[in-house]
Structure 1
């Protein structure tokens, strides 16, 4: 039985607009009882918010079917022998809740007295110099640096806006400390997703619109990969994009129901 790791923006929807055949594909998986996860690098939303957003675009979803890079970051920290459970969170609600739900105490940027075990950073649209200074200070004192996802730009309704990777670049430059990256294409979140599906990676399809994150991440863990030409990569750009990236998916499809037809 195949399993599926499904990217969101560019694969199932564009911002708040549904992508044709996405809802039909998810229904196809449900009808055949194929296990799947909605796997997203988005660190700002909670699983409940991700599921609600999917519902608004016409796709049935349950929070238990969602794995975010924020959840991945919290699970990663729990594997480490940290000196204390205090972390500096540079991020939004999805990341803050993932960390507190995992039992971590969140230090605030203005807290100069205490040290933290980790600086955990995602997208933060309120990022400012004070947060940069606090992150730099804690990292130079010995905290580990954890980045939810490396995306420098985020698509939203046809626009590109700065992502978590752009903020991370400033923190790394100031501190001199490279972060541990959790989200796609990192094998960290990919392996967490595989473990949740309880299938061999070779039985899983990683499905997405981004060669650098979705397809590279799937290839790195030995899953099968399917590129859909509904987002970052299009039918016009596909050949050039693959040539530049050096990444070749197992299947290329114009929309998700073409993948369903290919699987049979």
Structure 2
């Protein structure tokens, strides 16, 4: 553990991929850590840039790995994006380039989903069935003045089959063709973290953002005003940490070798 500047947390926002699992493989100690948080009564939410899966499916995936989770503990970029639009334009018409999780979140937020016809917003996430006709329709709406909302800017996604194109790669197509830049909801934007803070009912200074990625998790937490705890369980390692700190122009408030070390530190701060 490196030197920390973290205050005692009243709640945690926890990244998933690279922090609790890699693909379908649980990271060592993840199940024990989440069980420990429950035992000591520290509130937390799982916060993910993934827009494709509904919270119930995300929780089920964690459960399959032996990590205790429920749907109401999951915050997705799809939910945050839908809430963002509903807050600014209740009941707005939305054309979605995305999958079931995004469509469900938009419907749950009271938005009107439009496949054909005019729409006030183009809401885009990852769409693994994207084809030319979908691109054509979205670009036409953007050129016609629709506002562009992007669930998350991830260019690549890790999978069991290697790296795959992410929502950010698809956004490059739409932005290039239309000349319209999106409002980004997911990490490193603070919008997703701010939405999660409202869900957990805490102020930023009371909360830690925990993750493995300096450019997304730590940047989003820092931008929202949360304490930031970096775990060296995924993208960031002790060797490349200086590179990522230079690249992002920031440093985490605490750096932990693994989840067990993080858990020990949290328990010591809570006096349990």
Query: Which TM-score applies when normalising by structure 2?
Result: 0.92
Distance, in Å, in 1 between the alignment partners of 2:147 and 2:246 is 35
Distance, in Å, in 2 between the alignment partners of 1:174 and 1:190 is 30
* Aligned counterpart, 1:202: 205
Q: Which structure 1 segments of 5+ residues have no match?
A: none
**Structure 2 matches for 1:52-91, cutoff 5 A?**
52-81=60-89, 85-91=92-98
8 Å CA contact retained: 1:2, 1:35: yes
Question: Match of 1:236, SS?
Answer: coil
Structure 1 residue 91, shift from structure 2 partner: 0.3
Residue deviations 1:59-89, cap 9 Å, x none?
000000000000001100111136x632110
Q: Which structure 2 segments of 5+ residues have no match?
A: 1-8
Question: Match of 1:120, SS?
Answer: strand
Q: Which residue, 42, 57, 60 being the options, matches 2:50? A: 42
* Aligned counterpart, 1:25: 33
Asked if 1:103 corresponds to 2:110, the answer is yes
* Aligned counterpart, 1:146: 149
* Aligned counterpart, 2:5: none
8 Å CA contact retained: 2:149, 2:184: yes
Distance, in Å, in 2 between the alignment partners of 1:220 and 1:97 is 28
8 Å CA contact retained: 2:123, 2:149: yes
Q: Which of 56-65 and 185-194 deviates more?
A: 185-194
Structure 1 residue 104, shift from structure 2 partner: 2.3
* Aligned counterpart, 2:168: 165
Distance, in Å, in 2 between the alignment partners of 1:163 and 1:254 is 28
8 Å CA contact retained: 2:215, 2:244: no
Q: Which of 42-51 and 249-258 deviates more?
A: 249-258
* Aligned counterpart, 2:4: none
Q: Which has the higher contact order (CA 8 A, sep 6+)?
A: 2
